[in-house]
Amino acid sequence: MAYRSSSSTSTVSGAAIDPGKPSGYASDDVLVMFLSANAVPSNGITAPSGWTLIGRNDETNHAVAAYWAVGSVASTSFGGGLVEFGAPLAICLAFSGRNTTAPITAYSLHGYYSGNDAQCIADSVSAAAGDDSLLLFGSNGTGGIGSVGGSYTTRANGTSASISASSETLDAVSAGATGNQVASAGAYQNKGGIQVALAAAAGSAVPVFVHHRKQQGAQ
């Protein structure tokens, strides 16, 4: 048991962005929220009660962030300066059979300006068990973004006035390094990539927290 469903939305500007909970979610699901916007580091994010930050990366005027919560959380409405000024996009994914107290086995953040390199990268993480679920999120400027392909399944795509983004998943990941995942994306854009490994329900996997962050070539 792993991926259940997803929801997504975008806005030009406003006090909040709210994709709502994915359809068919259960109260003991793990929810993962990906946010992306054209915003500077000083633009904050106001998360509703019950959400925990996984990580955030800022690349010039391009920010990506990930949060998690359990399905019983009251709200999926995020606010703050990033939402108000950054033409943001949000994707929320629901997963069943995951560890609801310590779901994040590992994650990575990768932000960069690609120049003429037309790709978006999510750096490798270390999965802890064969039942880990792997999530990818890639965000680009207005140049569009493709998929990683292979065994990964695209769960949601979205665009806002200044962002193109996509999320993909892979279930029952083998323990060990997952490898860098690369998707095609428009050149000469600021980009952000996130890779997250979700632990199976308690007793099935032993969470090992690993954080890898990489930045290159900011302009």
**How high does pLDDT run on average in the chain?**
85
Give the CA count within 13 Å in the CB-facing half-sphere of 23.
2
Q: Which of 84, 64, 75, 62 is nearest to 31 (CA)?
A: 75
The domain total for the chain is: 1
Q: Which of 42, 40, 47 is nearest to 17 (CA)?
A: 47
- Check whether 44 has a pLDDT greater than 70: yes
- Check whether 68 has a pLDDT greater than 80: yes
CA distance linking residue 145 with residue 161, whole number of Å: 14
Q: What percent of the chain has pLDDT over 90?
A: 47
CA distance linking residue 139 with residue 158, whole number of Å: 9
Q: Sorting pLDDT into bands at 50, 70 and 90, what band is 207? A: very low
CB 199 within 8 A of CB 129: yes
Local structure of 83: helix, strand or coil: helix
Q: Sorting pLDDT into bands at 50, 70 and 90, what band is 168? A: very high
Expressed as residue numbers, the domain containing 70 is 3-216
Other residues' Cβ atoms within 10 Å of the Cβ of residue 23: 10
